[in-house]
Amino acid sequence: MTSRKLVAYLRGMEPALRAVNLEAPIWRIEEIASYLRISSVRGTYPIVRQPGFPLPIVHGSRNRRWIAEEVKAYFSADKTARTEPIAPLRLIEPKVVAKKKANYYA
């Protein structure tokens, strides 16, 4: 098999590899986002960092996996976990700094 055929084959498999399966016993962050009906995976990151959220079985910053039953149990026990922000949002006003104009003499 040539490298071009291999690349084409792997690209064809990509949608199947990224498909979300909520029936799987092990979940990726994509399955958690789908379970919570969050359109962006980025919105799931703060949720999986909350205290009390089940620990991943595969650690690291990428490709973490969780046991699906533990995640489902977490959300069935804690209904407010996905509706309340982790910390209260604060609006920060920008500081206005008044600067003196420099006097330049020729």
Distances (CA, A) of 3 to 6, 11, 14, 46: 5, 12, 16, 40
Percent above pLDDT 90 for the chain: 22
For residue 2, what pLDDT is reported?
Answer: 74
Kindly state the average pLDDT of the residues 7-12.
64
pTM: 0.57
pLDDT tens digits along 41-80: 888 889 998 888 999 997 777 888 999 999 999 988 755 5
Q: How many CB atoms lie within 10 A of CB 32?
A: 25
For residue 96, what pLDDT is reported?
Answer: 58
- Average pLDDT value for the chain: 75
Domain ranges within the chain, ordered by starting residue: 22-84
Alpha helices in the chain (DSSP H): 3-18, 29-35, 45-48, 68-77
**Is residue 65 within 8 Å of 28, Cβ to Cβ?**
yes
CA trace torsion 41, 46, 49, 51 (10° rounding): -140
Tokens of 41: 């995976």
